[in-house]
Amino acid sequence: MTGYSPGDRPPVKGLDPRPGSPETLFISDLHLSAERPAAIALFLDFLAERAARASRLYILGDLFDVWIGDDDDTPPYPEIRAALGRLTRGGTACGLMRGNRDLLLGRAFCRETGCDLLRDLTLTEFDGVKTLLMHGDLLCTDDVDYLRFRRWVRNPLVMRLFLWRSLASRRAIADDYRRKSRAAKAGKSSQIMDANPVAVAGYLARFGATRLIHGHTHRPADHALALGETSGQRLVLAEWTDTGGEVLTHRDGTWQREAVRPLPDQPRSAG
Ligand code: MN
Give pLDDT tens digits for 224-234.
Answer: 999 988 999 99
State how far the Cα of 214 lies from the Cα of 199, in Å rounded to an integer.
13
Centroid of ligand 1 to alpha carbon of 23 (angstroms): 25
In which order are the strands placed within the sheet that holds 23-27? 116-118, 93-97, 56-60, 23-27, 245-251, 254-260
pLDDT of 260 over the 60 cut: yes
pLDDT of 16 over the 70 cut: no
Residue 268, pLDDT score: 53
pLDDT of 13 over the 50 cut: no
Centroid of ligand 1 to alpha carbon of 184 (angstroms): 14
Centroid of ligand 1 to alpha carbon of 217 (angstroms): 7
Centroid of ligand 1 to alpha carbon of 20 (angstroms): 33
What are the C-alpha distances in Å from 69 to residues 33, 162, 172?
14, 9, 13
Least confident of 64-68, 109-113, 165-169, 182-186: 182-186
Residue 1, pLDDT score: 35
Centroid of ligand 1 to alpha carbon of 192 (angstroms): 14
Which amino acid appears at position 135 of this protein? H
Centroid of ligand 1 to alpha carbon of 102 (angstroms): 9
Centroid of ligand 1 to alpha carbon of 252 (angstroms): 29
Superfamily of chain region 16-260: Metallo-dependent phosphatases (3.60.21.10)
Q: Report, as an integer, the average pLDDT of 194-216.
A: 97
Centroid of ligand 1 to alpha carbon of 237 (angstroms): 11
Centroid of ligand 1 to alpha carbon of 148 (angstroms): 15
Packing angle, helices 77-89 and 37-48, rounded to 10: 10
Q: Report, as an integer, the average pLDDT of 70-77.
A: 96
Which residues have CB under 8 Å from 160's CB, separation 6+?
none
Centroid of ligand 1 to alpha carbon of 224 (angstroms): 22
Centroid of ligand 1 to alpha carbon of 53 (angstroms): 27
Q: What is the pLDDT of residues 87-122, one digit of tens each?
A: 999 999 999 999 999 999 999 999 999 999 999 999
Q: What is the pTM of this model?
A: 0.89
Spans of all domains in the chain? 16-260
Beta carbons of 99 and 27 less than 8 angstroms apart: no
Mean pLDDT score of the chain: 90
Q: Report, as an integer, the average pLDDT of 188-194.
A: 85
Q: Report, as an integer, the average pLDDT of 124-139.
A: 97
Centroid of ligand 1 to alpha carbon of 28 (angstroms): 8
Q: Report CA torsion sign: 179, 184, 190, 191.
A: negative
Centroid of ligand 1 to alpha carbon of 78 (angstroms): 23
Burial of 153 (0-12, 13-18, 19+ CB in 10 A): middle
